[in-house]
Amino acid sequence: EPEVTQTPSHQVTQMGQEVILRCVPISNHLYFYWYRQILGQKVEFLVSFYNNEISEKSEIFDDQFSVERPDGSNFTLKIRSTKLEDSAMYFCASTTTGEPEQYFGPGTRLTVT
């Protein structure tokens, strides 16, 4: 069964550094998403992406964040200058046209020190 993959599984970075989290969505999917979950809290929507542009973003997704689909398979989330409060689990998800269920990846745990 096809699945969403994410790399790395755990990323440790220093405050102020740039990080790129990578996702490979399911191959025929057209809609892509990032969510985050701060430890012990709920999963929060960050951004949705379709047709090479952002379709919706939350108030969390400020200028420090950006997303990109650099090629036909990867979907990335970049945080330009990480802060301590960016420490969280980041989940990528994808879906296809007309399919309300999103398929989630296993997550990347980001630790900012």
Partner 1 sequence: AQSVTQLDSQVPVFEEAPVELRCNYSSSVSVYLFWYVQYPNQGLQLLLKYLSGSTLVKGINGFEAEFNKSQTSFHLRKPSVHISDTAEYFCAVSDQGFKTIFGAGTRLFVKA
Select from 112, 96, 109, 113 the least CA-distant residue to 21. 109
Binding status of residue 24 toward partner 1 by CB under 8 A:
no
Alpha helix ranges (H) inside 1-113: none
Q: In angstroms, what is the minimal distance from the CB of 68 to partner 1? A: 19
Binding status of residue 72 toward partner 1 by CB under 8 A:
no
Sheet containing 19-24, strands listed edge to edge, beginning at the edge strand earlier in sequence: 5-7, 19-24, 75-79, 65-68
Binding status of residue 98 toward partner 1 by CB under 8 A:
yes
Binding status of residue 33 toward partner 1 by CB under 8 A:
yes
Query: Which C-beta is closer to partner 1: that of 13 or that of 57?
Result: 57
Residue 57 contacts residue 44 (beta carbons within 8 Å): no
Binding status of residue 104 toward partner 1 by CB under 8 A:
yes
The size of the chain, in residues, is 113
Note the residues at the interface with partner 1 (CB under 8 A).
31, 33, 35, 41-45, 48, 55-56, 91, 93, 95, 98-102, 104-107
